[in-house]
Amino acid sequence: MRDTLKHQGLRNRLVNTLINKGIKNEGVLTAIKKIPRHLFMDSSFEDFAYQDKAFPIAANQTISQPYTVAFQSELLEVKPTANILEIGTGSGYQTAVLLELGAKVYSIERQKELYRKTSSFLPKLGYKPKSLIFGDGYKGMEEKAPFDGIIVTAGAPFVPKPLLSQLKVGGRLVIPVGEEKQIMTLFIRKSEKEFEKHEFGDFRFVPMLKEKN
Ligand code: SAH
């Protein structure tokens, strides 16, 4: 598959949809305008790639809805060269958005199939995360902590403690919390011991799971 003018046109439309839904961050909008989302999906879904919808990828997982990716990325307030940890690499689309924002990205995926696929796919598009790990996101990545931002892209039944403790003071954790549906939640670390918590609307994610596959 290639990226064509037609795809570019569909992306411009998608960006307008996101603006109408309230996304303002220029960097995030520019990233979405640039990244060929159709290449992150199974070729049979190519026609749906620029609708604002989640879609199936391998291993029973989904590529998040563009609005959700944009909303989470905006909440993260990524600064260039920031150290960002992502939980749930999946297709790598959110990873690509973070890289376009200039972040150094570390990402963890618990499905080996996706980990393998995305590890070889991202560099082909010129995207080079600092590291992609096959592992358990509940533990975070202690060896690379502290992070300026942590983004969880699966529904977390609770807020894993290691993720809070691996934030820098001033750092932000964006995590959808809940079982059936999730409340998008932002934690800002105010000091060693204090966290500010903000809640946004309801979202739906595939569940964050414990065991590796
Ligand atoms: N950011 C991805 C979203 C994929 S869906 C994208 O844009 O494509 C969520 C991903 O989280 C899935 O790939 C799933 O396998 C992964 N996941 C679920 N539980 C996890 C865990 N405990 N640790 C790391 N990844 C996990």
Question: Rounded to the nearest 5°, which phi and psi values hold at 67?
Answer: -60, -40
Q: Is 150 in the pocket of ligand 1 (CB under 6 A)?
A: no
Neighbours of 134 (CB within 10 A): 16
Q: What is the per-residue pLDDT for 10?
A: 95
The model carries a pTM of 0.97
Task: Tokens for 28, please give them.
Answer: 């995030």
Q: How confident is the model at residue 52 (pLDDT cuts 50, 70, 90)?
A: very high
67, 50 Cβ separation under 8 angstroms: no
The catalytic position among 64, 73, 107, 119 is: 64
Residue located nearest, by CA, to atom 17 of ligand 1 = 88
Q: Is 58 in the pocket of ligand 1 (CB under 6 A)?
A: no
The residue to mutate among 57, 76, 87, 131, having the most atoms of ligand 1 within 8 angstroms of its beta carbon, is 87
Mean pLDDT, residues 150-178 taken together: 98
Mean pLDDT across the chain: 95
Mean pLDDT, residues 199-205 taken together: 95
Mean pLDDT, residues 132-158 taken together: 97
Question: Rounded to the nearest 5°, which phi and psi values hold at 202?
Answer: -80, 140
Q: What is the pLDDT of residues 32-41, one digit of tens each?
A: 999 999 999 9
- Residue 161 CA to residue 58 CA, distance in Å, equals 29
Q: How confident is the model at residue 44 (pLDDT cuts 50, 70, 90)?
A: confident
Mean pLDDT, residues 91-103 taken together: 98
Region of 210 please: left (phi>0), alpha (psi -120 to 50) or beta.
alpha
Distance of CA 104 to the CA centre of its chain: 13
The residue to mutate among 32, 62, 212, having the most atoms of ligand 1 within 8 angstroms of its beta carbon, is 62
Q: Is 87 in the pocket of ligand 1 (CB under 6 A)?
A: yes
Q: How far is the CA of 45 from the centre of ligand 1 (A)?
A: 20
Residue 112, classed as helix, strand or coil, is helix
Q: Is 114 in the pocket of ligand 1 (CB under 6 A)?
A: yes
Q: Is 208 in the pocket of ligand 1 (CB under 6 A)?
A: yes
64 is catalytic: yes
Q: Which residues of 162-194 are buried (b: 16+ CB within 10 A; e: fewer)?
A: ebbebbeeebbbbbbbbeeebebbbbbbeeeee
Q: What is the per-residue pLDDT for 25?
A: 98
